[in-house]
Structure 1
Amino acid sequence: MLPLASPTAMPFTTAHFVLAIDGLTSVSFSKCSGLAGEVSVEEYQEGGENRFAHRFPSRAAFPNLVLNQGAGPLYELWDWFYEFHVTGMVRPRDGTVVLMSTVDGELAPVRVWAFTRGWPVKLTGPDLDAQSSAVAIEAIEIAHHGLVLKKVL
């Protein structure tokens, strides 16, 4: 069946989003990747059935979240990463990545991705170049146990 009309809702812009992690100050970021998931497929070749192989869902997997931001005055993400270097352990934390967009002239959350048991696996400081006036960008990479798109109220 073909649609009678195209949807009138405009897509959200991705100009502003916020990382909120339990127990840490929320931080705005300029770039985020890894908001994805996939399910592995296991094939079973049944004897006598030569037309196809049976395919079954096997295991869910989620890539690490990678977030970039302009280096600012907050140290909490660095401290969270450094926990492992001091104690040999890092406390996993739940968190959200919130896409903010203009709705009725106001900046409001429009999409919320929640992750569970996240922990920092990589922190990258900015590239420093005295001949450039570019923004100093740092990145954090977070491994986690799953990602869910939550409903925005």
Structure 2
Amino acid sequence: MADDGVKQSTNVWPMPKFYFRVKWGDKDVISFQEVSGLDIQSEEIKYRHGDSPIFSVIKMPGMKKFGNITMKKGVFKGDNKFWDWLNQIKLNTIKRVPVTISLLDETGKDTMVWTLSNAWPTKISSTDLKSEGNEVAIESIEIVHEGLTITTPK
């Protein structure tokens, strides 16, 4: 008799990346096609004192650096949320919001959550236009933030 997979452990397989949710601020959930740039890097500090018997530098962890996040979504008639948000930038003032990106399991529950603090838009790219194109119009927004935390809810 063939194995129907009922006894299969849920911890054996990695999570697929196509089922996710993006939440802006406290309540806005926006559907995106793609999210990229969820990375953290620790800069290195190199040091060597002059009378060190070891002829190489010591490397220590320095400040953390966060990459910009790029999100892509389809263009919808009358949807100007990104442009409205970008147009609010005036003399270093902008509404900064937390952004939560959740990787979901098959039941729609969070399995991994990336939370960006104090996020704001730095770049918006409109779709390209082609008279012979047969694709959906896609726009992208690039946001900067001041910190990224990663949690794995139980």
TM-score range, shorter chain: 0.7 to 0.9
Correspondence 1:1-153 to 2 at 5 A: 8-23=11-26, 25-51=28-54, 52-73=56-77, 74-84=79-89, 87-88=90-91, 89-102=93-106, 106-153=107-154
Query: Is the contact made by 1:93 and 1:116 (CA closer than 8 Å) also made in structure 2?
Result: yes
Give ranges in structure 2 of 5+ residues lacking alignment: 1-9
- Look up the match of 1:4: none
**Aligned alpha-carbon RMSD (Å):** 1.9
What do residues 52-83 of structure 1 show as CA deviations (whole Å, max 9, x unaligned)?
A: 31222221100100011111243322211121
Corresponding residue pairs, total? 142
Q: Give TM-score scaled by structure 2 length.
A: 0.82
Q: Give TM-score scaled by structure 1 length.
A: 0.83
Aligned partner of residue 108 in structure 2, secondary structure: strand
**Aligned-pair CA distance for 1:18:** 2.2
What do residues 92-145 of structure 1 show as CA deviations (whole Å, max 9, x unaligned)?
A: 11111112232xxx2332211001011000011111212111011110000000
CA distance in structure 1 between the aligned counterparts of 2:12 and 2:121, rounded to whole angstroms: 36
- Look up the match of 2:6: none
For 2:102, the aligned partner's letter is: V
4+ runs of 1 displaced by more than 4 Å? none
